[in-house]
Amino acid sequence: MREIVLDTETTGLNPKTGDRLVEIGAVELVNHIPSGNHFHVYINPERDVPDEAFRVHGLSTEFLKDKPLFSAVVDDFLAFIGDDPLVIHNADFDMGFINWELGLLKRPAITSDRVVDSLALARRKHPGGSNTLDALCSRYAIDNSKREKHGALLDSELLAEVYLELIGGRQAALTLVSSGAADQSGGRTRYGRSRPARPRPAPLAPRITPAEIEAHATFVQTFGSETVWASYWNSEQSGSPSGASANR
């Protein structure tokens, strides 16, 4: 299963009043494990960046003026996210901006049914507490010391860790080995058996004595010749591969 954890930075709070995207960051999860693949771009908003927004993310009008327009990166962005679920903290905000920008280019909006709002998950799991990204990092002992300002890619990476904690997947991911890799228990991976178990260097010693084997044979013969047990015994005596083993 592929999921995309996504974050944006903007010039303000409302695209309907002229605010625009200035940064998109996204990281890929495969089966709830970060794959290392990511998407990151700064965007020229074609307007100035207010001081209030600059204090949040540190992206100035001067810095952004030579960056690509959203129209120049939209195809790469859509190709990266594909049709997979999007994990976003306070998703209405980010999706409002993304769909506004898509609308300006006459592109179809991204529907809400493919969006997972991690803020809603956090509020259900921790009602009454603070569920900002910083608060959740603190709750789950996730190192966010590099987060001096908001940044779309860094925030996506932190959110990926928070999301895994929220769904109970982080601890499971820590116990997983890489796909197809075997541990030292005879070829068994966390996903199942990937190759046959190694043969023992020497067969195990029998757990029953010859006298016990003979006593068992005598006992089985008392059942008569038409029983299932008798057919097993006859198969063993004839050396048939389908016969039951004395160590079954």
Q: Please report the pLDDT score of residue 73 as a whole number.
A: 98
With CA atoms as reference, report the closest residue to 165 among 212, 126, 129. Answer: 126
Q: Please report the pLDDT score of residue 49 as a whole number.
A: 98
List the beta strands (DSSP E) in 11-97: 21-30, 33-42, 86-88
User: For the CA atoms of 206, 211, 212, 216, what is the dihedral angle to 10 degrees?
Assistant: 120
| Pick from 2-16, 59-73, 134-148: least confident | 134-148
Task: Please give the CATH superfamily to which domain 2-174 belongs.
Answer: Ribonuclease H-like superfamily/Ribonuclease H (3.30.420.10)
| 42, β-bridge pairs | 23
pLDDT category at 242 given cuts 50, 70, 90 is: very low
> Which residues contact residue 139 at a Cβ distance below 8 angstroms, ignoring those fewer than 6 apart?
126, 129
pLDDT category at 216 given cuts 50, 70, 90 is: confident
- Distance, in Å, from the CA atom of 167 to the CA atom of 221, rounded to the nearest integer, reads 59
Residue 60 and residue 47 in contact, taking contact as beta carbons nearer than 8 Å: no
pLDDT category at 232 given cuts 50, 70, 90 is: low
- Distance, in Å, from the CA atom of 12 to the CA atom of 18, rounded to the nearest integer, reads 9
pLDDT category at 32 given cuts 50, 70, 90 is: very high
**pLDDT tens per residue across span 159-187:** 999 999 999 866 545 544 344 443 444 44
Q: Give the mean model confidence (pLDDT) for residues 65-80.
A: 98
Q: Please report the pLDDT score of residue 148 as a whole number.
A: 75
Q: Please report the pLDDT score of residue 155 as a whole number.
A: 96
At position 192, the amino acid (one-letter code) is: G
- Distance, in Å, from the CA atom of 248 to the CA atom of 238, rounded to the nearest integer, reads 17
Catalytic residues: 150
Query: Given a cut of 80, is residue 188 above it in pLDDT?
Result: no
Average pLDDT of the chain, as a whole number: 84
First to last CA, the chain: 40
Helix (H) or strand (E) segment spanning residue 181: none
Q: Please report the pLDDT score of residue 243 as a whole number.
A: 41
Most distant CA pair in the chain, distance: 97
Q: Please report the pLDDT score of residue 198 as a whole number.
A: 58
116: helix, strand or coil: strand
| Pick from 36-50, 149-163, 195-209: least confident | 195-209
CA 159, 160, 166, 171 torsion: positive or negative? negative
Q: Please report the pLDDT score of residue 229 as a whole number.
A: 62
Residue 79 dihedral angles phi and psi, to the nearest 5°: -65, -35
With CA atoms as reference, report the closest residue to 82 among 21, 3, 24. Answer: 3
| Pick from 15-24, 38-47, 159-168, 237-246: least confident | 237-246
Residue 32 is encoded by which pair of tokens?
Answer: 């709830």
Where are the domains positioned within the chain? 2-174, 206-248
pLDDT category at 220 given cuts 50, 70, 90 is: confident
Q: Give the mean model confidence (pLDDT) for residues 148-160.
A: 92
**pLDDT tens per residue across span 8-18:** 999 999 999 99
pLDDT category at 233 given cuts 50, 70, 90 is: low
